[in-house]
Amino acid sequence: MKVIVVGCGRVGAQLANRLYQKGMQVTVIDESKAAFDNLDPGFRGRTLEGDVLAQDMLRRAGAENADSLAAVTSSDTLNVAVAHIAKTIYHVPYVVARNYEPRYQSLYESFGVNALSMSNWGAQRMEELLAGVALKTVFSAGNGEVEVYEVVIPESWAGRRLGDLVNGCGCVPVAVTRGGKAMLPDRDIVLQSGDVVHISATFEGIEGIRRQITQAKES
């Protein structure tokens, strides 16, 4: 798989290193030669120094035959421009960009560019951890608008129905795992302490689950 990473800061270098370690053909572009010092010493992919928007730079990087491209510079306007060019001119199948400033997220949406806002995502994860309930995110869609959470059922919820846990929260149960065996969820299933329930939900929805579990612990 041929991948182009535009931007070799901390995020770009980490991404390039991970992709290279998975055996992919990685080309990294950055306007600063010093940025390539962020790459692991064992990185053996291609590095191209220069302005990514300069004539023929993406072509030199192999965009015409690339399978995917990630634009992860600290400039939202540059990331949008590179992603748009990769999609519309070079027809790169998979393109993703880094949304550096959350207030510019609508810019990516207007161009139809898949973007990840690490500031929003990181703040949301910290908020979840600070709440102190045994919930863990195992899958995130889009910019985290919908996620799949892993919920470990505490003793305080043993004997109650799954439907009682998710009713009114806008959540969709995905699976229930008991004793290492997973099953498709039935809202009438009676939960046991230690059950692992995977739930698809928005952040607001999972907050409803969190409140129910917390209230049961306190009662």
Q: What is the mean pLDDT of each run of 10 residues along the chain (219 residues)?
A: 96 96 97 96 96 93 96 95 96 94 88 83 66 70 82 89 88 92 93 92 86 73
CB atoms near residue 174 (< 10 Å)? 18
Task: Sketch the domain layout of the chain as residue ranges.
Answer: 2-118, 127-218
| Structural domain 2-118, CATH architecture | 3-Layer(aba) Sandwich (3.40)
* Residue-by-residue DSSP string for 37-86: GGS-TT--SEEEES-TTSTTHHHHTTGGG-SEEEE--S-HHHHHHHHHHH
DSSP class of residue 7 equals -
Instruction: Name the one residue in this structure whose structure tokens are 């109650």.
Output: 160
CATH tag for 127-218 (out of 3.20.20.100, 3.40.190.80, 2.40.10.330, 3.30.70.1450) = 3.30.70.1450
**Tell me, what's the pLDDT at 15?**
96
- Burial of residue 75 (CB within 10 Å: 0-12, 13-18, 19+) is middle
What is the pLDDT at residue 127? 66
Instruction: Report the alpha-carbon distance of residue 153 to residue 135 in Å, rounded.
Output: 10
Q: What integer pLDDT is reported at residue 129 of this predicted model?
A: 59
Please tell me the predicted confidence (pLDDT) of residue 114.
87
Could you tell me which of 204, 173, 202, 205 has the C-alpha nearest to residue 189?
A: 173
